[in-house]
Structure 1
């Protein structure tokens, strides 16, 4: 993503005027900025909807929400840093770049690279933590293995750009004499490995809940919908694969060759945030489909706008029981068919043989008079 720390200005002036005239002179900065901010905007919308759904159901944020918000913040700062370096000429080909700005862009670019890696791995970790709430046994152990290994490998990728030179400041201060730096191929090859591992973990985590969810007692159509929503991480895995392929351009001396890598890195993070948010957005769908109105004498659809004098309307909606509910769940005898797939029973008044949250039905009765106002 960034130029090698061994770069020097003398290495980029080997062209004759005739050769320079034949080289491309386009600027990739507009493409970079429009792409990363558009991807960030999509991720922001889905994250905002996820948080809205949490508050809609009167639930507090949990660790998976906070980690996902952290990934969003990292992505925001990364996009801002990239926007800054484009004002210094980043996006131009090396033969058009003002080499006086080279040292000024090094630290922001390396910081943006670290933030990009952090945002990607945190967005995947958020989904993994969500899975920990609905899995048990070896599924939970496998999920932990995915989370820990992915964070460890990606942490090293985020760290290496800062520690691969002795002294450390030689990585961005080209005025320093002496010192040594690792071969850039060592860093790039490791980054390819860690990125490929991250892509694999995306796919594993996407398919992890299949067996568990398929065993739930619910309609097949809705079960398929839940499984599809929980498996959208495969798209994040696909973008991670493309990013892995693009990592080879880190060895290029031309800045412009690294632009696609930034774009696909942001696509990976955005796809992960969207994939982690969509399962929560089913709350909005359930709110729209589980609320029904009845009119005395038959079914009444409130969406049609039909009203009548002194008519009775009954609104039926479903919601999870509160965490401190004292319902005697063990007396329901429904084989836990209405329990939520998220959360465990922590109420000492409820037998531990029953996990999850019971579905509660709210019934609201309204009367409308001739003026159409509720009475």
Structure 2
């Protein structure tokens, strides 16, 4: 049975985005019900999911409109009235997709970076995080504006008369007066910058994690948790390769257009899933310990004592129970410690109260899920 490439893109998009929806729902469950807090990083990822669903709907209409004609019809003037409506739908959906695709990736990356910002007490790490946030925001804004104004008059981007005129080789025939630039260079540049920013985001926390004062196996495991985003980098590399093939000629554009959309779905959903999976460790930890985490009533009772901040109150409770506070600090950075009150719960890089990990854990051997359970609203 033959399946149109565009229909395959839609099916894959629905499957991956549905999986991302489940992961995001579980993430909110862990963050709100088990930790009692959600933050900007969660809401940015939710926005990325909504944009990805929008792209999936756009992929459906891209397939529906483009299946109504063949590329060979462009060179037959008599076919123009028959394909005009479907061609206009194809041009319009591609115009929308070029804008929303980069916005969706931007939300994914900002979600990860704002999580880094929340756990960064190391000055260099924090500055690099802010610089990367600025880079991602600025280039996304620039690419979005350039995509919107691909033509001097944006409406010309889906004008069928202007589009078909480029295939009309009859001498003496008046050409369209629309002013549009060739967007291929913009798309290739955008794909390259997306890949570069993916690599930067992956490598950003690794130097700090290597400097943590914990056993090497725990250090490597933390690096593994932060490195699950390599899935998105692999997808971005494949999409970059497809982009290079797609941009070689008009014939390749028709041939590899569906592949470009397919790997765009894989790239975005890989970023959503891989960056949300570390938050789901709380579910399995709850099963292993026989409890699903603290109830909302416990969270309310934890912050009822006046004059004592929540981390201080919890630390005093832990000391009464004989559980010292676990501090994961960069080796050789003791002189950089600041006032604990400046960044409660994360001093100087990651500080996790012992009550958040298994009662059977010893000092310096906390479970890995504690590294992603900050007191701070992330």
Q: TM-score normalised to the size of structure 1?
A: 0.71
Q: 1:86 to 1:64 in 2, by over 3 A?
A: same
1:358 aligns with 2:353: yes
| More helix by percentage | 2
CA RMSD of aligned residues (A): 3.9
1:271 aligns with 2:270: yes
1:110 aligns with 2:106: no
String of CA shifts for 1:208-236, please: whole Å, max 9, x gaps.
Answer: 22233344455554443332121111221
Report which structure shows greater RCO (CA 8 Å, sep ≥6).
Answer: 2
Instruction: Pick the aligned partner of 1:337 from 326, 345, 349.
Output: 326
1:224 aligns with 2:220: yes
TM superposition shift of 1:239: 1.1
TM superposition shift of 1:32: 1.4
TM superposition shift of 1:64: 0.7
Instruction: Pick the aligned partner of 1:161 from 108, 131, 147.
Output: 147
The within-5 A match list for 1:173-188 is 173-175=159-161, 177-182=176-181, 184=182, 187-188=183-184
Instruction: Pick the aligned partner of 1:126 from 97, 102, 111.
Output: 111
Give the structure 2 partner of residue 39 of structure 1: 16
Give the structure 2 partner of residue 150 of structure 1: 136
* Segment of structure 1 superposing worse, 242-251 or 349-358: 349-358
Decide whether the 8 Å contact of 2:286 with 2:293 is kept in 1.
no
String of CA shifts for 1:282-338, please: whole Å, max 9, x gaps.
Answer: 21232233348xxxxxxxxxxxxxxxxxxxxxx999999767354274895988525
TM superposition shift of 1:163: 0.6
Distance 1:170 1:161 in 2: 12
Structure with max Cα Rg: 1
Decide whether the 8 Å contact of 1:27 with 1:93 is kept in 2.
no
Q: 1:89 to 1:267 in 2, by over 3 A?
A: same
Distance 1:102 1:316 in 2: 55
Q: Aligned to 1:273, what secondary structure does the other structure show?
A: helix
Distance 2:59 2:211 in 1: 46
Instruction: Pick the aligned partner of 1:51 from 15, 19, 28.
Output: 28
Give the structure 1 partner of residue 61 of structure 2: 84
Q: Aligned to 1:181, what secondary structure does the other structure show?
A: coil
Distance 1:143 1:216 in 2: 18
TM superposition shift of 1:247: 2.1
Query: Structure 1: which 5+ residue stretches go unaligned?
Result: 1-24, 293-314, 365-375
- Count residues with an aligned counterpart: 313
| More strand by percentage | 1
Q: 1:352 to 1:192 in 2, by over 3 A?
A: closer
* Segment of structure 1 superposing worse, 157-166 or 126-135: 157-166
Query: Structure 2: which 5+ residue stretches go unaligned?
Result: 75-81, 163-175, 304-308, 331-338, 360-378
